[in-house]
Amino acid sequence: MDIRNFFDQFQEIFYTLEKNRLRTILTGLTVSWGIFMLILLLGAGHGLENGIDSAFQEDAINSLWVRPGQTSVHHKGLKPGREISFHNPDVHEIGHKIHETQFISGRFYLSRNTTVRYQKKIGKFQVVGVRPEYDKIENFRMVKGRSLNTLDESQNRKVVILGIDVQKEVFQNQYSIGKHILIRGIPFQVIGIFDDPGDQWNLDRIFMPISTLQKVFNRNDLVQNIAMTINATDQSGARAVEKKVRDLLAGRHGFSQEDSQAIFIHNSLSEYLNFMDLFASIRIFVWIMGIGSIVAGMVSISNIMLITVKERSREIGIRKTLGATPNSVVQMILTESIIITFGFGYVGLVAGIAILEIMGTYIKGAAYFKNPEINMGIAFGALLILVISGSLAGIFPAIQAAGIRPVDALRDE
């Protein structure tokens, strides 16, 4: 086909579509709606997944958090209702006997309204005693100075690191590293400032070695809760480590391993994997819905093209009388089907991406919804699938058109 014939054919197709404008628009809307909903659902699902993933980034994804509770069942002659308390040896035992642990730290909190003074400035903050590896568990990062280290812990050094909100309120624009603050009247040296974009609660906290806190504030070897990261990658591994921790603490504190109220374990990895499984199911559901919409568009296009062939049977018969080949007739019908599919499919694609951009702009503060977006490769892949579907939808009407006998067509009124 030469260029002239090519443009003539396109001009003829657009004339036919313009002649049946309402029918063309209604058919095209079915196609647009299908890909629009596919793009919108995929992008919104991705935004929800980003939001959940961001929430989990507050701490290490493979973290385990253990806090004591109260026994609720009899065990080896011991009555229920006993308060469980953790101590330093519990932390050491878990770290040494459960080989799947990577980083582990006991934690002890002073009141959130602990008085902190620097010169004439006084503030109320929460002070937390932790081990040096705690920064790996909480995922916070140092912006100035250094973090706590093993010498700080072993030598009970009176040193602290400050969240950036504490730094701003207490020191304002002054340089704080190396200076001393008073915590309940006791001087501590500031050795670092940290930021934690994933967890705003940490930014008004002060961390010190737990050994120092226990000694200076007379907490003996008490630990309020235990945090750790674990070496596991799937549900079975995460649950296995959780069971080992429960069994070890049950043996040390004399409670039943089946007593769910004696200790409470938050398994971040298991919860994260549950969400990922959920999102995998959502993606499958979205694709099923999208493919269903595309199939509906195919059926609509096929039906419309059949009507078009029926209406233009006399015209097709005249074409064949004047020498048009069956292949040229098939090509004409298929081209019309592809133009409808691609044109309206592209409109649906652009509309879906535009809505996602608007959602991303106006829902920035949502807790579990972040950056709704669609991979452009997937988006144009979906459009390509739609165009191929449009071609398939036009095949049967095109074959039917090619089979029209000129004599029968010219006989139609």
Per-residue pLDDT reduced to its tens digit, 61-101:
888 999 999 999 998 888 899 999 999 999 999 999 999 99
- On the 0-12 / 13-18 / 19+ scale of CB atoms within 10 A, 6 is exposed
What is the pLDDT, as a whole number, of residue 295?
75
Residue 269, pLDDT > 80, answer: yes
Confidence tier at 203 by pLDDT (50, 70, 90): confident
CA 266 – CA 201 distance, rounded (Å): 18
Residue 256, pLDDT > 90, answer: yes
Residue 2, pLDDT > 60, answer: no
**∠170-60-132 over CA atoms, to 5°?**
55
What is the pLDDT, as a whole number, of residue 271?
84
- Give the tens place of pLDDT for each residue, 132-150: 999 889 888 899 999 999 9
Q: What is the pTM of this model?
A: 0.69
What is the pLDDT, as a whole number, of residue 284?
84
Calculate mean pLDDT across residues 161-177.
Answer: 89
Q: Which two tokens stand for residue 143?
A: 């912006």
Among 18-27, 63-72, 239-248, the least confident range: 18-27
CA 46 – CA 192 distance, rounded (Å): 37
* C-alpha dist (Å) from residue 366 to 37, 51, 116, 352, 370: 22, 8, 33, 20, 7
Neighbours of 342 (CB within 10 A): 17
What is the pLDDT, as a whole number, of residue 180?
94
Residue whose C-alpha is closest to residue 211's, from 167, 146, 148 = 148
- Which has more confidence, 367 or 324? 324
Residue 371, pLDDT > 80, answer: no
Confidence tier at 368 by pLDDT (50, 70, 90): low
Which percentage of the chain shows pLDDT scores above 90?
Answer: 37
Residues 6+ away with beta carbon under 8 Å from 45: 279, 282, 283, 286
